[in-house]
Structures are given as structure tokens and as C-alpha cells.
Structure 1
Amino acid sequence: MLIQAYQKDQQLLTDIESTMAVTEGFRVWWLGQSGFLIQYQGKHLLFDPYLSDSLTKKYAHTDKPHTRISELVIQPQALPVIEVVTSSHNHTDHLDAETLLPILANNPAIKLVIPEANRLFVAERLKCRPDFPIGLNDNENVTIGPFRLYGVPAAHNTLERDEAGKLKYMGFIAEFGPYKVYHSGDTLWYEGIVETLQPFKVDVAFLPINGNKPERKVAGNLNFEEAAKLGKAIEAKLTVPHHYHLFGFNTEDPENFVRKAEEYKTPYKVMRLGESLEII
């Protein structure tokens, strides 16, 4: 039986639309895997959405089946107006044509932010102009509406760069109004990660917890204990786990993260699928 969403489809959409006029604080919805929707001053930033079954279909008859274990919370074409959407790297659960194409079609003014190193790959996958995406590298930033996005390194499994020295795997710091959030993309703990992130003093850190297990035959991430330690080390006001409860072969029990977060005294929130979080 699939893990049930806290809210989905029209109920989720109604919840998102009901706070469009709210000017205080900001809101977050977890859309599954590494997908988070940020709402601030009626504007929306969408981190790394995966809202399809493209990987389940792709690997159905292989030795690496991607069997979905949770409900899809919403069809991508049903989302409200999105100002900014990100892809932190080229893996399909972070750069999914079946998710992004409907979103791009419904939002002619949308901006897509990616690692600069991935520009040609992204253009080919999405069949868009190569100059359409906005490319970032580490130590670079871009402002789109109320959102300023900073590129930060991610190790998946290494800090891989192209021949020009540009990162292929990234995380993003988003700054808007008085707030900052960190979306890790997919990453392991690497030398310098704390020193890179700590100065931002983020309000929320979205960190993966599914771990790094070579037998899965996929690139790895922080495990639940490392996520709890990193959230504490960078002094995030709140740490929210992600990258679990999508595929049966590549998941983790969030209760393990809860146990370690309480042990390290890391402020945390485990979100249910489609659930909202308000930060004031």
C-alpha cells in the first residue's frame, strides 16, 4: 500500500492558494522526494520537483526497479503560478521532463535556475533554447523577483566540475526578505561544507537522509545522522529531511533522523507529503 499524502490534489492546491495574500513570514510545502514549494509575498520558488512516474516506467524491467512507495501529491500542471524553479543536478528525480515541461508551459515568465555546467544537457532534456536556463556556479548568485539564489557546492558523490571548473552538482541558498533557506540538492558531507553554509545562518535547511549505500547502484547522500549533525553544525533554525519515501530501494525511516536530531539537539521538522510549514 502506498504511503498516503497528508493532503494532495485539490486540497493541496486550495491550501497553497489560500495563503497567497499573506504578507507575514513564508510557507513551505513538501511535494515529495526533494521537491519543496516556497511561498513568500504571494510568489513561488519551487526546488527540484519530481511529480511523475517517469523513473518507475524507465526502470520497470531492469535489475534496478524504481518502485514508488508514496502517493503523488499533485500533477505538475495543476500547480499555481511559479516564478522560479530549480534543478540542482541532472538526475531525473531533480531534472524530470515529465514534471518540468508542464510547469514551463503553464508559466511563460518562469525562470529555471541550474548549475551552469549542465546547460546543454538541460536544454536537450527539456527541448528548450540553450540560453533559456539561468546558470550558476559556486560563489555566484542571481535575483529573480523577491528571491536571490546563491550557488553552493554539492558532492554527489564527489565535487565534480566540468573542464571549465564549473560544478555539475549544486545546492542553493535562497534569500528573500529577512529569510534564508538552504536546499542541499543531493550531497554527501564534504570538507568545507560547514564553513560554506554556516555564514548564511539559514532559517531552514532541507537535507537528504537516505544515505550512501553502493549496493543500491545510485549516487549517495547524507545519512540520517549526518543530516542531524550538519543541521546543528550550520546553526540552522530548523532542519527538514528529504529524499526518502519515494522509491522502495532508496529510502530511509525518518524516525531515525528524529532520534539523532533529538540526540544532537538539532531543531527539526519532519514534514508529511503535501503538508505545509509556516515560518514567521
Structure 2
Amino acid sequence: MTQQSRPVPSGSLPAREGATTAPAPYPPLAEPRPPAERRVWPRAFHDRLTAPLPGLRAFARFAREGAVRPGPAGLADIPRLPYEPGPLPRVGTRAVAVTWVGHASWVVRIGGLTVLTDPVWSRRILGTPARVTPVGVAWEALPRVDAVVISHNHYDHLDAPTLRRLPRETPVFAPAGLGRWFHRRRFTRVTELDWWEAAALGGVRFDFVPAHHWSKRSLTDTCRTLWGGWVLTAPDGRRVYFAGDTGYGHWFGRIGRRYPGIDLALLPIGAYDPRWWLRDVHCDPEEAVRAARDVGARRMAPMHWGTFVLSAEPVLEPLTRVRAAWEAAGLPREDLWDLPIGASRVLE
């Protein structure tokens, strides 16, 4: 069930200066792999890193001058963080709709399926203060969850207490090497994928794509599992790109060439300061706009901000900067879906 490629729509975001375009994806899309396939993976994925992990010198500098939280002025706007929970839109099987739950958690309705991305409904995650905005969608308000996609194993993206709420037969699409984590928790339909591989469920195609990031969940498992993003393609060809957690780099252009006609890109814009420390693994708002242009997305929805205080930038700064960057790029304001937590949009 190979999804046919579509030409890039004339309304797509223009590629950034210097970027190249191609009329067709390259290399060709892979055939979907069998669901819940048991596979053998390399012991580690250090060779997939696009930048070295911080060494002792970087940790020493961070100890001298780094800040992991905003000062009082940067936290003062927490009451103003956009939070507008509402009911999930009533949509048919042909609709594509997204609802921002907070951080990197979305409810994506596509091809008649309800898909959760990196679901975190917990109030607190390990090593981080409690969330500063409530969850945007009550767990009890969710329809039946048809699938879950996971970008990587960091605690703010792979939350065991939330996942324990799901029936164990829920289909899970996960990065290579992460299946063991789910199998230990008795999930029975776990499909692990390498970069550029795909699986299918109910007519929807799930492609796992590269990201500029890394993985770690304990002292001894650095890069033992893969990391990445997901391109979800509906039976009618509409595409939603969920970037997961990523820095800016060359992968965005390659994703755009291989999956032309992305209708909506869900891109991270927060947790970027201090820049010298986080540049390689987290986009700042301006880089996120560049990434949206690189992948050729028609629209962009910012995420990964306003939920957990993970770094030193003021809590509202990601929103103001992404709006300014979007305007500076000359892009249509209606194509920036800067949603409040809990809000929804439906693709026309």
C-alpha cells in the first residue's frame, strides 16, 4: 500500500534562500513493513548523531555560566500563557484535524484514526518542575486511541504513567530499539522503525524520518535507541509532519524532497536558551520557521513550549519570536497555527 507522491502545491511555503527542490521524493518511499515485527537492532545509534554530545569542557562551562530556568521576570508571564481548552472537533473519516494537548502531545485525527503524538498527561516529569499550564484535553474526553507515535525516549516525550492508561493492544509506532521498553510493559502491537521506513494502519501511512537530536533515559543507555519524527499520510494524500524534538539542520530539506506536499508541520520552538548549549538539539523560533520552509509545509503549528519550563528563555518569548519570524519571512498569517493549549484546527 505505497502512498503515491503528490506535486508540491502552489500554496506551499517558499523554500528558504539557497535550498534546492526536486519534483519527486528521493530516494523512493519504502514499502510499509509488517506490523509488530520483531527485529534485531544495533547496540547503539551514536553514528546517527549530527553533532557531538557535550563533553567535560562544555559541562564545566555550563556549571560556570549556564542557566536552566528563567529569572523572575521571565517567569512572570506564566499566567498569560495561552490556554483555551475546548471540545475536540467533530470530524468525519475524511477529515484531518489537530488538537494541541501541550508540549509535544497532539491529538491528530487523520484518515478516520485518532493518533496521539508523544503523549504526556502527567503533571510532572522526572527532573523538571511541574507543568505550568494544565493538560489541554482531559483524558476522559479522548475518543478511542487508534495509535500512538513516539519520537524518542526522553522523559518529556515518553511518559510511562500516561502510557499505562492505554489498552495494551493499542498500536504503537516507535523508533528502532525502543520496542523492548514497550514489551516490558506488555504492549502487544509495537512497530519499531528505522529512519525512512514506514508502516501502515487503517489506510494511514506512518513514515519515521530523521531528526537532529539524541536519546537517553538512564546513566547507561545514551543513544541506545533511535530518535526522529513522523510523517502521517492520509489515504487521500494529505500529510502531517510531526517533528518530535530536533535542532535545525540538513534533514529538513531531505524530508521535504522525499515527502512533497506536507499540509501541516508540527514543529518545536522552545527550550533553546542558552543557545551554545542547546543549539544542536533544539530549534529556536527562527530556525523552526526555516525548517517549515525547508520541508515545504503549507502551514506550521508551533509546539514544545509553554508547558514545561526546560530552559532559560522567558516563557512567552518563543511565541513572540515565532510570530515575528513568520512575518519577517513574508508568509501568510493564517498559515501560522499558533494554537493555545487545548485548541484545535481542522484542515480544509
Aligning the two structures, in what range does the TM-score lie when normalised by the shorter sequence?
0.7 to 0.9
2:300 is equivalent to residue 239 of structure 1: yes
Inter-partner Cα distance in structure 2 for 1:215 and 1:193: 20
Inter-partner Cα distance in structure 1 for 2:271 and 2:329: 18
* Mapping 1:173-188, distance limit 5 Å: 173-176=231-234, 177-188=236-247
From the superposition, tell whether residues 255 and 214 of structure 1 become closer, same or farther in structure 2 (CA, over 3 Å). Answer: closer
Bigger relative CO (Cα 8 Å, ≥ 6 apart): 2
> Could you say which structure has the higher helix fraction?
1
* Mapping 1:66-77, distance limit 5 Å: 66-77=129-140
Inter-partner Cα distance in structure 2 for 1:86 and 1:24: 20
Q: Which runs of 5+ in 1 are unaligned?
A: 60-64, 159-164
From the superposition, tell whether residues 192 and 39 of structure 1 become closer, same or farther in structure 2 (CA, over 3 Å). Answer: closer
Inter-partner Cα distance in structure 2 for 1:132 and 1:92: 22
* Mapping 1:162-181, distance limit 5 Å: 168-176=226-234, 177-181=236-240
Inter-partner Cα distance in structure 1 for 2:155 and 2:107: 18
User: Which of these residues, 70, 80, 84, is aligned with residue 6 of structure 1?
Assistant: 84
From the superposition, tell whether residues 166 and 93 of structure 1 become closer, same or farther in structure 2 (CA, over 3 Å). Answer: closer
User: Which residue of structure 1 lines up, in the alignment, with residue 192 of structure 2?
Assistant: 135
From the superposition, tell whether residues 231 and 217 of structure 1 become closer, same or farther in structure 2 (CA, over 3 Å). Answer: closer
From the superposition, tell whether residues 121 and 215 of structure 1 become closer, same or farther in structure 2 (CA, over 3 Å). Answer: farther
Q: Secondary structure at the match of 2:154?
A: coil
Quote the offset at 1:73 in angstroms. Answer: 2.1
Measured against aligned partners, the alpha-carbon deviations of 1:64-110 in whole angstroms (never above 9, x if no partner) come to: x42421122234354210111111100122111111111x23xx642
User: Which of these residues, 79, 98, 108, is aligned with residue 38 of structure 1?
Assistant: 108
Give 1:113's aligned amino acid. F
Residues 114 and 135, structure 1, Cα contact 8 Å, conserved in 2:
yes
User: Which residue of structure 2 lines up, in the alignment, with residue 62 of structure 1?
Assistant: none
2:318 is equivalent to residue 253 of structure 1: yes
Q: Which runs of 5+ in 2 are unaligned?
A: 1-77, 216-222
Give 2:295's aligned amino acid. I
From the superposition, tell whether residues 23 and 192 of structure 1 become closer, same or farther in structure 2 (CA, over 3 Å). Answer: closer
2:89 is equivalent to residue 29 of structure 1: no
User: Which residue of structure 2 lines up, in the alignment, with residue 162 of structure 1?
Assistant: none
Give 2:193's aligned amino acid. L
Residues 67 and 247, structure 1, Cα contact 8 Å, conserved in 2:
yes
**TM-score, length-scaled by structure 2:** 0.66
Q: Give the % identical residues.
A: 23
User: Which has the higher mean CA deviation after the structures are superposed, 174-183 or 34-43?
Assistant: 34-43
User: Which residue of structure 2 lines up, in the alignment, with residue 228 of structure 1?
Assistant: 289
Quote the offset at 1:19 in angstroms. Answer: 1.2
**TM-score, length-scaled by structure 1:** 0.81
Quote the offset at 1:26 in angstroms. Answer: 1.5
User: Which of these residues, 250, 254, 264, is aligned with residue 195 of structure 1?
Assistant: 254
Inter-partner Cα distance in structure 2 for 1:142 and 1:213: 36
Q: Secondary structure at the match of 2:178?
A: helix
Residues 30 and 272, structure 1, Cα contact 8 Å, conserved in 2:
yes
Give 2:227's aligned amino acid. Y
Residues 29 and 38, structure 1, Cα contact 8 Å, conserved in 2:
yes
Residues 211 and 220, structure 1, Cα contact 8 Å, conserved in 2:
no
User: Which residue of structure 2 lines up, in the alignment, with residue 204 of structure 1?
Assistant: 264
How many residues align? The count is: 254
User: Which of these residues, 146, 168, 176, is aligned with residue 116 of structure 1?
Assistant: 176
Residues 83 and 109, structure 1, Cα contact 8 Å, conserved in 2:
no
Quote the offset at 1:215 in angstroms. Answer: 8.3
Residues 302 and 338, structure 2, Cα contact 8 Å, conserved in 1:
yes
Measured against aligned partners, the alpha-carbon deviations of 1:193-237 in whole angstroms (never above 9, x if no partner) come to: 312333312000111011534589888411100001111122200
Measured against aligned partners, the alpha-carbon deviations of 1:50-72 in whole angstroms (never above 9, x if no partner) come to: 111231xx43xxxxx42421122
Q: Secondary structure at the match of 1:117?
A: coil
Residues 284 and 318, structure 2, Cα contact 8 Å, conserved in 1:
no
2:331 is equivalent to residue 273 of structure 1: no
Q: Secondary structure at the match of 1:230?
A: helix
> Could you say which structure has the higher strand fraction?
1
Q: CA RMSD in A?
A: 2.7
User: Which residue of structure 2 lines up, in the alignment, with residue 148 of structure 1?
Assistant: 205
User: Which of these residues, 117, 124, 130, is aligned with residue 54 of structure 1?
Assistant: 124
Residues 170 and 189, structure 2, Cα contact 8 Å, conserved in 1:
no
Give 1:174's aligned amino acid. L
From the superposition, tell whether residues 269 and 74 of structure 1 become closer, same or farther in structure 2 (CA, over 3 Å). Answer: closer
User: Which residue of structure 2 lines up, in the alignment, with residue 81 of structure 1?
Assistant: 144
Residues 214 and 226, structure 2, Cα contact 8 Å, conserved in 1:
no
